[in-house]
Amino acid sequence: MLKYERSILILKRLEQLYPETPIPLNSKSTFQLLIAVLLSAQCTDVRVNKVTPELFSTGGDPLGMSRLSVGSIYNIIRPCGLAPQKSRAISKLSKIIVKKYKEEVPDDLNALEQLPGVGHKTASVVMSQGFGHPAFPVDTHIHRLAQRWGLSRGRNVIETERDLKKIFPKSSWSKLHLQIIFYGREFCTARGCDGRVCDICQTCYPKRRKPFKANKA
pLDDT beyond 90 at 44: yes
pLDDT beyond 90 at 149: yes
pTM of model > 0.85: yes
H-helix segments, the chain: 3-17, 30-39, 45-59, 62-66, 70-77, 83-100, 109-113, 120-125, 140-148, 157-167, 173-186, 199-204
| % the chain with pLDDT above 90 | 94
pLDDT at 7: 96
Q: 106 falls in which pLDDT band (50, 70, 90)?
A: very high
**Is 121 designated active site?**
yes
CB 18 within 8 A of CB 178: yes
Q: Out of 61, 121, 163, 175, pick the active-site residue.
A: 121
Q: Out of 3, 99, 100, 139, pick the active-site residue.
A: 139
**Is 139 designated active site?**
yes
CB 152 within 8 A of CB 159: yes
Answer yes or no: same fold for 3-20+136-204 and 30-130.
no
- What gap in Å lies between CA 49 and CA 85, rounded to an integer? 19
In terms of CATH architecture, what is 3-20+136-204? Orthogonal Bundle (1.10)
To the question of domain 30-130 being in CATH 1.10.340.30, the answer is: yes
Average pLDDT over residues 187-215: 93
Domain boundaries defined on the chain: 3-20+136-204, 30-130
